[in-house]
Amino acid sequence: MNITGMLYGSKLLKLVDFPTSKVLGPEADEHQIKDMIAECGEVFVKPIFKGGVGKKGKSGLLGRAKDVGTAMKEKERLYFAEHFHNNTKAKAEGVTFEGAVPAEYEIYFSLSDSTEFRAPTVTLTHHGGMDIEELPADKLARIPFDPLTGLKGFVISNGLKKIGAPAELISPLVQHLPKLWDLYHFYGMTMLELNPIRMRSDGKGRLTPVACDFKCSFDNDDPNVARLGLPDDLDTSSYSNFELEVNELRTYQGQSDVFVINEKGTITAMTFGGGANALVTELLGDAATISSDFGGNPPYAKMHDISRIVYKYWLNQSNVLFIIGGKANNTDIFETFRAMSDALRDHFNAYGPQPLYVVVGRGGPNLIRGMSYMKDTLDSLGIPYQMFGFDSAMSEVVNFAQAVDAWMKNGGREIVAKQMGLSVQQAA
């Protein structure tokens, strides 16, 4: 689950007493907006998107107003604004009104687990704002730290000194930024980002960091997320029906992470493991229908339900059913393959056969037994297939699946249909 914006961000930051800009929700009336403008001098009007939606400011989805009339016009413009980013279209559901925070300095701060350092890592700079990704490396501090001791003030201090931050920034940031570790660590977050944090002056030379935008991601399987009491539908507006169905199968055992890549794709990849997911998703590109990770030793019933849903939504348009993963440590290959095979047989019985080529690449416990079960199922259904064991390079298996997809598009689908005894209409 992802959250962007200060509507909920301000509520989460208050749990750790981190200062935030003043925020009004979409229900705010003209009197409240007028009072905010009188207090802050200006308000920013921002659309509310469920889930993690980026690059809103660069797309013009930000309004500014110094009077109520302008604020209401911006509300009308942005209330149901649509935004397209990272192949995903999102529609706003209201706006927030956020008080301006005058400041000379803008701070960027993010906290996430780094696969490079194998530790939680802070990314920090005093050159914050929308163009953070364009900063050179010498202006951006990336600092791993020990999760057992947590985020201490000296980590922040050392990082700021390393990039030459002004001295007046260091003390207030050292006092406040370590609070964010408590929010990140104790509530099941996998990423927390504040950009910008504006350094507000009290007029006497003392600066206070004020969060003016918020973004975070949660591990949905972490029970600590429930402690926040967030609405169940907070992150569902941009999910497809397929993603919603699979997400309902989340349990303590087994992954069920899916994301639709291309609704017109022709390779449906059921991947096992985060490494396999990253490699396969990158190499398949637009040919893939979905990005998925079904690892974690899912039991038979869960894997059967997942397979049933995947087949229902994507098999009819697919040339290749691609089952791929690395060499598993604890996933029972026989149980997962038996579930996928039985679901495939059930799908053909319910919806009828179709031209399809199955490519399998896997390793792990009970591999031979699992492949044998799948082989018997595919033979009985008349589906052509190719299977690769743990000693095959995953990238080469992906290349093979792509070659099969190209062959199916150039006459292979009709050949397979003929071998399966299907009509021309069924091959189309």
Under CATH, what is the fold of the domain 241-427?
Rossmann fold (3.40.50)
Mean pLDDT, range 94-118, rounded to an integer: 89
Name residue 326's amino acid: G
Mean pLDDT, range 258-270, rounded to an integer: 88
Q: Is the pLDDT of residue 307 over 80?
A: yes
Joined together, the tokens standing for residue 418 give: 């003929």
CA torsion sign, 23 to 29 to 30 to 34? negative
Q: Which residue has the tokens 């749990």?
A: 15
- Structure-model confidence comparison of residues 42 and 240, the more confident one: 42
Three-state SS string over the chain comes to CEEECHHHHHHHHHCCCCCECCEECCCCCHHHHHHHHHHHCCEEEEECCCCCCCCCHHHCCCEEECCHHHHHHHHHHHCCCEEEECCEEEECCCEEEEECCCCCCEEEEEEEEECCCCEEEEEEECECCCCHHHCCHHHCEEEECCCCCCCCHHHHHHHHHHCCCCHHHHHHHHHHCCHHHHHHHHCCEEEEEEEEEEEEECCCCCEEEEECCEEEEECCCCHHHHHHCCCCCCCCCCCCHHHHHHHCCCCCCCCCEEEECCCCCCEEEEEECHHHHHHHHHHHHHHECEEEECCCCCCHHHHHHHHHHHHHHHHHHCCEEEEEEEECCCCCHHHHHHHHHHHHHHHHHHHCCCCCEEEEEEECCCHHHHHHHHHHHHHHHCCCEEEECCCCCHHHHHHHHHHHHHHHHHHHHHHHHHHCCCCHHHHC
Please give the Cα distance from 124 to 160 (Å, whole number): 8
Confirm if 324 and 357 have CB atoms less than 8 A apart.
Answer: no
Mean pLDDT for the chain overall: 86
Mean pLDDT, range 249-256, rounded to an integer: 52
pLDDT at 19: 95
- CATH superfamily placement of domain 106-228: ATP-grasp fold, B domain (3.30.470.20)
Q: Which of 213, 192, 260 is nearest to 107 (CA)?
A: 213
Joined together, the tokens standing for residue 116 give: 């490079």
CA 95 to chain CA centroid, nearest Å: 23
pLDDT at 179: 95
To the nearest 10 degrees (0 to 180), the angle between helices 333-351 and 300-314 is 40
Express each pLDDT in 110-158 by its tens digit. Answer: 999 887 778 899 999 998 776 676 778 888 889 999 999 999 999 999 9
- Structure-model confidence comparison of residues 79 and 247, the more confident one: 79
**Confidence grade of residue 235 (pLDDT, cut at 50, 70, 90):** low
CA torsion sign, 342 to 347 to 353 to 359? negative
Mean pLDDT, range 181-203, rounded to an integer: 91
Backbone φ and ψ for 269, nearest 5 degrees, come out as -100, 120
Under CATH, what is the fold of the domain 22-99?
Dna Ligase; domain 1 (3.30.1490)
**Confidence grade of residue 253 (pLDDT, cut at 50, 70, 90):** very low
Length of the chain: 428
The mean-pLDDT minimum among 81-95, 203-217, 318-332 falls in: 81-95
Q: What is the pTM of this model?
A: 0.59
Per-domain boundaries in the chain = 22-99, 106-228, 241-427
pLDDT at 416: 94
Note whether 22-99 and 241-427 share their fold: no
Residues of the chain above pLDDT 90, percent: 54
Coil, strand, or helix at residue 299? coil
Averaging pLDDT over each range in 71-80, 82-91, 252-261, 335-344, which range is the top one?
335-344
CA 232 to chain CA centroid, nearest Å: 17
pLDDT at 252: 41
Q: Is the pLDDT of residue 204 over 90?
A: no
